[in-house]
Amino acid sequence: MRALERAPARERVAAYGEALPLVPEQEREPIVLRLFEVAASARAARRAGAAGPIELLTDLATRRRERTGEDAMLAIMSGWDVIPASVRPLIGGLARDRWIRVGERAAASKTPRVRSAVAGFAEDTADPGFAGIVCGLLCDPDPTVRLRADRALLRLVMTLLSHLPPEMLGSEFAAVAARPRIPLPIEREVLELERVELCRRLSDAAWRFADHRCRSPLIGSLLVLDRVPGTVLERAVAERIRRLLKERNHPSHTPIRTVLRGTPSPLLRERALRWLNIEPVASTCVDRLSSADSVHEHEILLRRAYLAMRPSRARRLRAVRSVGDREHAPVPDAATLARLSSQARRGMVRFVQLIGLDEDARRAAIEPTLADESALVRLAGVHAAHPSDLTDFIYDPDPAIARSAAVRWATLGVAAPLVTMASGQRRIALAGTLARSPHAEVRDIARAERERIDPFAGTAASRLAARRVFERDPISFVKSVRERLADSSSVMNALMLVRGLRLSERFEMDLVDLATTHTDDRVRATAVAALAGVDSEPARRVVRASLNAPDPRVRSNALESVDPDPGVLLEYKNDASHRVRGSAVRRVLMLDGLSPDAGGAAGEALARMLSDDRAAHRLSGAWAAERALRPSRRDAIGPGWRSAVRRVIEAAQSDPDPRVRVRAGRCMRLIEPRSPAPEAA
């Protein structure tokens, strides 16, 4: 060492470089420090400038010192693998552009050890300025150098993506990105340009895969492809890499598909979803999406499930199948799903709807959303749940979720199940339960659903359901009606249904029995009214007998159903019940071929009802007038027309009861359309 101190600087540097890999480990640090001293002094000499006239003209001494300094830096880079870790950070004190120039000289060396050391230097600094040097070493004839350059390029790419969360890169690549590096001094703007240059070098190396057979350019190209491009150069680089995915016959296409299919990086699974619309790699993307190795792969992919809104992606997602291994299934199980974010859990519902799972697997995947803590996830589960699972969502405390589930559960717009079927009975029972829901909209949906299915709900929709049941299965329908006619709690609904469907003849004997033996006057009155359309002696006998029933409703309905004999009907024009009087008068006034005497008597009876002291009788008279007095009936009524109309006019103008005035006014408008509007109640 002392002898070397007296030697010229270039010879000392050369000797230090040769001795560095040979001396014991504990003696390397002083040698490296002397090399750094020479490199730094050369930089200082450059700043000091020339001293004499010749040096000012040629600057030979300065150039000589710079050359010596770069030789010292070359010696450091050539022995990089043996340089102690304690002195490696000193490289940051030297200019970055000088290190890049030295790296280009070292990469051109004929010694494989030196070329390998250059790749190691680039790997440890992770500086994008070495991208061109490292990509050039990928084609090195020595396999050791190529392998080292492959690792170095992967390190450059991972440093470029180090801003991403480690779980997106995967454990292997995240470990590469997290390794400590020795940064070289560089300005931020220059660094951004160098990263663009790194992407350009990556694309070139990916297109030349056949020349070097290294995987890192392909991996790096796939990972940086969908970075948001900002400049024209970045967009051009991204488009060049994307074009490689579409070149089916290019030698690099098959290897890049292999990398996409098998590289353990969650980010590439999300990339596979993006690239489903690229035809040459669509099948590879389907294979990549068919399995997942970690919870992070599920998280990254399912957060981007909205990308499947594009029809070309959604169409190809149907080819995704489960691999049969639950650990690597394309969708997460319940335990894994609980570890995902709410956005990913919502995306899982969309993803499950699109991929080609069987019905059982789809139901098993969506079922955990029923108890999810996020209302948005449960709402998404409603829209994807199997119809048989909707009943669980209807009980959700959130009104929007319960309403959405109820709308999907309802049969509005489709054929409802028959009440004679077990599914129809279960649906009616559930509708009865949902009618007590805390959500008003759910109660309304349940009520409408029951009306569409239950023939005995007493509404127009239920009568339509009853007609459907009667047409498809008349025997079961008749049996159900008779069971309800025998039940005091449902007999009224059954009677109304028989009347609404005009099935009195089918149930004649049941109606006769109810009209004669039932203890409830309301039921007897309804049964008598139902017998009005039955043309048989038993029915007529029951109706005539009901004319003398003590209950006025029974007598009134009997008057509506009895044979049209004006004499018999007029006997009840002075009945104590206003309802019986109104029915008798109305029935006479509506008869065809009415005699003048009968018409006059009926008209006078109507006038007396409208003049009665009792408000109920006047109201009943107004009701009869509204239904019987028509201009077309004037000749048939005869002499009674004038007196009845005169009393209607008086009632419309001066009756003390507003209800009577309103009804009489409506009657006046029917008789004479230009009559003034009735006084409001």
Let me know the angle formed at the C-alpha of 543 by 542 and 546, rounded to the nearest 5 degrees. Answer: 85
> Token pair of 112, please?
């494989």
Non-local CB neighbours of 546 within 8 Å, separated by 6+ positions? 515, 524, 528, 554, 555, 557, 558
**pLDDT tens, position by position, 273-313:** 999 999 999 999 999 999 888 899 999 999 999 998 899 99
What is the DSSP secondary structure assignment for residue 14, as one 8-state letter?
H
| Average pLDDT estimate for 139-165 | 91
Long-range contacts (CB closer than 8 Å, 24 or more residues apart) made by 437-444? 437/394, 437/402, 439/399, 439/402, 439/403, 441/399, 441/402, 441/403, 441/406, 442/394, 442/399, 442/402, 442/403, 442/406
Confidence bin at 539 (pLDDT 50/70/90): confident
């509005």: which residue's tokens?
A: 412
Evaluate whether 284 touches 261 at the Cβ level (below 8 Å): yes
Q: Dihedral sign for Cα 358, 362, 364, 365, please.
A: positive
Q: Which amino acid is at 506?
A: R
What is this structure's pTM?
0.69
CA dihedral 190, 192, 198, 199 (to 10 degrees): -150
**pLDDT tens, position by position, 405-463:** 999 999 887 777 777 778 888 888 888 899 999 999 999 999 988 888 888 777 878 88
pLDDT at 230: 61
pLDDT at 48: 44
Confidence bin at 47 (pLDDT 50/70/90): very low
Radius of gyration of the CA atoms of the chain, in A:
49
Integer Cα distance of 150 and 511 in angstroms: 96
Among 385, 382, 383, which Cα is nearest to 365's?
A: 385
**pLDDT tens, position by position, 59-77:** 666 777 788 888 888 999 9
Q: Is the pLDDT of residue 235 over 80?
A: no
Evaluate whether 462 touches 456 at the Cβ level (below 8 Å): yes
Q: Provide the percentage of residues in the chain whose pLDDT is more than 90.
A: 28
Helical (H) or strand (E) element with 191: helix 188-207
**CA end-to-end span of the chain, whole Å?**
123
Phi-psi category of 208—alpha, beta or left, where left has phi over 0 and alpha has psi -120 to 50? Answer: alpha
pLDDT at 45: 42
Q: Is the pLDDT of residue 115 over 90?
A: yes
Let me know the angle formed at the C-alpha of 505 by 503 and 509, rounded to the nearest 5 degrees. Answer: 115
| Average pLDDT estimate for 370-380 | 92
pLDDT mean across residues, the chain: 85
**pLDDT tens, position by position, 425-434:** 888 888 889 9
Measured CA distances, 566 to 315, 458, 530, 558, 572 (Å):
77, 34, 22, 14, 10
Confidence bin at 521 (pLDDT 50/70/90): confident
